[in-house]
Amino acid sequence: MTLRIACLLALLGATGAALADDAAILACRNLADGAARLACYDAIPAGSRPAAAAERSFGLEPKKRDEPPPSIQSAIVGSFSGWGPATLFTLANGQVWKVVDGSQADLAPVSNPPVKITRNVFGTMFLEIEGTNASPKVRRVR
């Protein structure tokens, strides 16, 4: 008899989206009989908790994700004399970037040249190397 009452209470407590809360779940969890516990959980309306959570946040300003910086500055580690398709660049900050376009350049060798990686309005990244006019399209790999 107690089992039926507990199921009935859980079912009644879970009839509306606003009423489906932790109490209904806890009532089901306390049932010893596996079949009755499953029936109790099945009686809780699916999707009621997200709707209740959405209603609680209605009208609040959504949290803004941290915006990535528009660019970063670092330096290419070691000697640098140009690039070609798929060239990997290891930067002083530990990041590794790869050329993802078909561009190439042969330059006079320099050591640890400063670089700036910028993002355009479409999200494409370009590697700007101090002392050159060309900027290969790059993608971070590490």
What digits encode the pLDDT tens for the residues 60-78?
777 777 888 899 999 999 9
The answer to whether the beta carbons of residues 131 and 110 sit under 8 Å apart is yes
Those residues with Cβ within 8 angstroms of residue 79's Cβ, 6 or more apart along the chain or in another chain? 109, 110, 111
What digits encode the pLDDT tens for the residues 1-54?
566 666 556 555 544 444 455 778 888 888 889 899 888 888 887 655 555 666
d(CA 86, CA 70): 24
Question: pTM to 2 decimals?
Answer: 0.55
The whole-number pLDDT of residue 51 equals 56
Cα separation values, 134 from 23, 39, 94, 104, 109, Å: 64, 67, 23, 9, 16
Q: Which amino acid is at 117?
A: I
